[in-house]
Amino acid sequence: MARVETVVADFLILGGGAAGCMAAISSAEADSSLEVVLVEKAEISRSGAAGRGMDALNNVVIPGIGTVEEYLEALQVVADGTLEPTISRVIGERSFGLLQKLEQWGCQFPRDSRGQYIVGSFHPKGRFLVEMRGDLKKLLARRVEAARTKVYNRHVALAILKEGNHAAGAVALDLKQGVLRAFLAPAVLMATGGAARIGLPSTGYLHGTFDCPWCNGEAWKMGFEAGAELTGFEYTATSSMTKDFNGPGLSTFIRHGAWLVNGLGERFMERYEPLGLERAPAGIRAQAMLEELRCGRGPIGFSCTHLPEETISLIEEGLFSTERPTMRDYFMRKGLDLRRDPVEVVMSEVYLCGGHGLAGFVADSFGETSLKGLYAAGDCLANPYGFLVGAMVMGEVAAQRVASLKEKRPQSPNLGETLDLLQESLARHRKGALGVSVREFEYKFRRLVNEYVAPPKSQLKLSRFLRETEGMLADQEDLPARDPHQLMKVMEAKAGLFSARMAALASLFRTESRFGLYHHRVDFPHKDDPNWKTRVILSAGPRGPLVRKERP
Amino acid sequence: MNLYIDEKTCIRCGACVEHCPGDVLYLDEEGFPFERYPEDCWYCGVCQAECPVECIQLLFPYLIR
């Protein structure tokens, strides 16, 4: 067995995005004697999907404006009848408390002339969206520091450790030293995001994705291999993305009343969803956009020309100051002015996400997965459209649970055999017998995702994807990596291929169409409520993944 | 290359390298930042935001200009 430095703690957090940071802060608040370690691939003050900023909390149930029941009703519409409400209820109930806490910490929530929060509509029903300003991630990172959490930046988590049927820690790769490091703890929280790099964006850039490209399903692969169950992988989402740019940020147009228009200037959502219009469930909106493009009525875009100047200024101010400041450079380069021009959008590549989608770990109300002691929060947890609020609430909930249980530290985890396997795997990558670059490998499976897994789906296409990528599973073990950064890229590619295959399996299993475009099966074009108003669950079996319905 | 970093203004503090979420940036022997893995950039603008002397400009790669 290889010798590595071993760090022992009471609580190990993998991923220092909004969820992981909030977990670190909350565990110290709950029990200051708890020793907490946070392992982060980048650097916590700027990492994760909210690293650069976020201009709103999308889902806060504000007393007097909305209720938790209304929030769950809205989510049930978005999840097309398949919502399992346990986690969403917790998020709804704690959302306003979270906003108050953040405001106390110095996060800004602008008020209107009557001193009220600026609340908008984003969901198909209800008003749960609150405008936000300020540098949230920096603020959280300072709190993590004050909480005396031991932070290991630039460490890539590679495998979950177990003691019997209980999580016992993780092994990570130190990106700067190029060595492995072991972390032992009786409770492990996975908070490393969703999978952004499974489909190919239209620009052709591997990292030009809608979602944060440095998160690619690593938690899903590690957690699944350790015994945690997954759900929602047939919800292969695609969003509107600014043409020739990347990243999210367009929800601001929807909530501030911009129209989706086609090349003829028509507000085309009137044809597809006359009541919900732009606020239709994401899969319905995506289907409408694709249909307009398919019929040759493109280009499509968001138009603000009918909006008053104060609304346009609010959109620009939020977008350029907080959500996506590089968008200002982009607008200038393209000569775009919202007062005059629609912002052209394209359909993004497909992605999988637990916080703005349905894909992620199955968990109980504390975020504990089907493996004891292994928790999940943020975009790797199935917390349907829980967004940033869901990430922070579930980080908080998991931490409070861990602090209350205070379990004994692991005595005999499977560290030796895990290290042996990892060392062997890293040695093979250093050798790189495949002789194909990880970029070429990644491009290949992502092109196949576009062709066979992205909707519209069919049994023929999905099975073809699984067959074509079967050989790639063997190939990936010999991908070359000459430095730690490339090893990280290899791990991300493997996790992306794993996630894409899970998406194909789940999509194959759900023999109906649901979620608008996202799970449109041409061979089963109708929604089948009596049989399929349920989640699809993936679990690891002795001879490969098993797929089942949550309820028969 | 996605960035223009002004050599004259840059104070070699390494803040852009420290914070880059994609591990794209590294320091050369003289402490000047460069893009070791430019293809991993998301144009998120963290480097620009973290620079205390505002010496970083985003260029955007050719395909999205």
The CA distances from residue B16 to A50, A172, B13, B22, in Å, are 17, 24, 8, 11
CA distance to partner chain B, nearest, from residue A115 (Å): 30
Whether B19 contacts chain A with CB within 8 A: yes
Nearest CA in chain A to B48: A326
User: Which pLDDT value is given to residue A121?
Assistant: 83
User: DSSP labels for A295-328?
Assistant: TT---EEEE-TTS-HHHHHHHHHHIIIII-THHH
| A–B interface: beta-carbon pairs under 8 A | 83
Which of chain B's residues have a Cβ under 8 Å away from the Cβ of A439? 39
**pLDDT tens per residue, range B5-53:** 999 999 999 999 999 999 999 999 999 999 999 999 998 999 999 999 9
**Phi/psi of residue A531, each to 5°?**
-100, -25
Residues of B in contact with A216 (CB under 8 A): none
Q: For residue B64, what pLDDT is reported? A: 66
Listed residue (A292, A39, A50) closest to A171, CA to CA = A39
Sheet of A11-14, strand order: A150-152, A36-39, A11-14, A188-190, A374-376
Residues of chain A that touch chain B, judged by Cβ-Cβ distance less than 8 Å: 41-43, 45-48, 51-52, 154, 175, 203-209, 212-214, 244-247, 324-326, 329-330, 333, 439, 485, 488-489
Asked if B41 reaches chain A (Cβ–Cβ under 8 Å), the answer is: yes
Which H or E run includes A21?
helix A18-30
Cβ-proximal residues to A193 (8 Å cutoff; 6+ apart), any chain: A15, A17, A48, A49, A211, A212, A214, A215, A219, A353, A378, A379, A380
pLDDT of residue A323: 73
How near does any CA of chain B get to the CA of A49, in Å?
Answer: 10
Q: Which among B23, B50, B64 has the least Cβ separation from residue A42?
A: B23
Stated pTM of the model: 0.96
Q: Pick left, alpha or beta for residue A385 (phi over 0 → left; psi -120 to 50 → alpha; otherwise beta).
A: left
ipTM of predicted complex: 0.96
* Chain B residues in contact with A51 (beta carbon < 8 A): 21, 44, 46
What is the per-residue pLDDT for A203?
A: 86
State the pLDDT at residue A55. 86
Instruction: Categorize the per-residue pLDDT at B60 as very low, low, confident or very high, splitting at 50, 70 and 90.
Output: confident
**One pLDDT digit (tens) per residue for chain A, 552 residues:** 567 999 999 999 999 999 999 999 999 999 999 999 999 999 999 999 888 888 899 999 999 999 999 999 999 999 999 999 999 999 999 999 999 999 999 999 999 999 999 998 878 888 999 999 989 999 999 999 999 999 999 999 999 999 999 999 999 999 999 999 999 999 999 999 999 999 999 888 999 999 999 999 999 999 999 999 999 999 999 999 988 888 876 788 988 899 999 999 999 999 999 988 999 988 999 999 999 999 999 999 999 999 999 999 989 988 888 777 888 888 888 889 999 999 999 999 999 999 999 999 999 999 999 999 999 999 999 999 999 999 999 999 999 999 999 999 999 999 999 999 999 999 999 999 999 999 999 999 999 999 999 999 999 999 999 999 999 999 999 999 999 999 999 999 999 999 999 999 999 999 999 999 999 999 999 999 999 999 999 999 999 999 999 987
Asked if A375 contacts A402 with a C-beta cutoff of 8 angstroms, the reply is yes
B38 preceded by cis ω (within 30°)? no
CB < 8 Å to B21, chain A: 42-43, 46-48, 51, 212, 214
Residues of chain B in contact with residue A209, where contact means CB-CB under 8 angstroms, are 42
- Residues in B closer than 8 angstroms to A42, CB to CB, are 19-23
Helix axes A415-431, A484-509, angle to 10 degrees: 110
Is B40 within 8 Å of A207 when comparing Cβ atoms? yes
Phi, psi of A209 (to 5 degrees): -95, 170
Among A221, A235, A199, smallest CA distance to A14 is for: A221
Q: Are A222 and A250 in contact (CB under 8 A)?
A: no
**Token code pair at residue A361:** 């770990």
- Residue A419 near residue A180, CB atoms below 8 Å: yes
Q: Measured between alpha carbons, how far is A504 from A482 in angstroms, rounded to an integer?
A: 31
Q: Is the dihedral of CA A473, A234, A249, B21 positive or negative?
A: negative
Quote the CA–CA distance of A158 and A171 in Å, as a whole number: 6
Q: For B37, which of A48, A246, A485 is closest by C-beta distance? A: A485
Query: Chain A residues with CB inside 8 Å of B61's CB?
Result: 205
In angstroms, rounded to a whole number, what is the distance separating the alpha carbons of residues A450 and A456? 10
In sign, the C-alpha dihedral spanning A332, A298, A324, A318 is positive
Rounded distance between C-alpha atoms, residue A46 and residue B47, angstroms: 10
Q: How far, in Å, CA of A135 to CA of A521, rounded? A: 42
Q: Angle of helix A86-104 relative to helix A387-405, nearest 10 degrees?
A: 90
